């Protein structure tokens, strides 16, 4: 008997007996009304994330990075802001739609500190509301 026929004829355990497959298809919450929505430290941290502007860099290929700005107020005209950044910092940029954070601004290169200074100096964002990551 060859190795292939041995593999083909061996019985595999049923999916229900595999502990990794147990519970598949089951809802995570049986009753949504029983879920506890009390304020906790985690909820406070999530509200803080929504309340501030986050400026971070993301590594692309090699030495290339992009600067991502998220959490800007919807009243701030993003197109005008990008146009200003592109001319002031001689970089490329556009508005990207993110599933989790909505519209974010992406600029080529590491522009974190320049963007922070511009936002604070022109009173678009308070100094304590800007967080720089990376």
Kindly write down the DSSP assignment for every residue of 73-121, as one continuous string.
-TTS-HHHHHHHHHHHHT--EEEEEETTTEEEEEEES--HHHHHHHHHH
Domain residue extents for the chain:
52-132
Higher pLDDT, 134 or 97: 97
pTM: 0.62
> Which are the contacts of 123, defined by CB distance < 8 A and separation ≥ 6?
none
Identify the pLDDT of residue 23: 47
- The arithmetic mean of pLDDT across residues 16-22, rounded, is 48
Q: What is the CATH number of domain 52-132?
A: 3.30.780.10
Identify the pLDDT of residue 100: 82
Identify the pLDDT of residue 114: 94
Mutual angle of helices 112-121 and 78-89, in 10-degree steps: 120
In which band, very low, low, confident or very high, does the pLDDT at 112 lie, cut at 50, 70 and 90? very high
Residues 77-108 pLDDT 10s: 899 999 999 999 999 999 999 888 788 999 99
Residues 42-86 pLDDT 10s: 544 444 445 789 999 999 888 899 999 999 888 888 999 999 999
Please determine, for residue 35, whether its predicted confidence score (pLDDT) is greater than 60. no
pLDDT averaged over every residue in the chain: 76
- The arithmetic mean of pLDDT across residues 30-48, rounded, is 47
């Amino acid at each position: 008997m060859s190795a292939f026929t041995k593999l083909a004829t061996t019985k595999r355990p049923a999916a229900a007996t595999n502990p990794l497959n147990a519970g598949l298809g089951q809802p995570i919450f049986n009753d949504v009304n029983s879920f506890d929505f009390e304020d906790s430290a985690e909820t406070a941290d999530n509200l803080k994330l929504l309340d501030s502007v986050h400026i971070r860099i993301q590594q692309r290929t090699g030495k290339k990075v992009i600067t991502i700005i998220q959490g800007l107020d919807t009243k701030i005209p993003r197109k005008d802001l990008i146009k200003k950044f592109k001319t002031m910092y001689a970089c490329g940029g556009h508005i990207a739609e993110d599933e989790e954070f909505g519209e974010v601004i992406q600029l080529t290169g590491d522009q974190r500190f320049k963007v922070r200074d511009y936002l604070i100096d022109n009173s678009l964002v308070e100094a304590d509301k800007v967080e720089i990551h990376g």
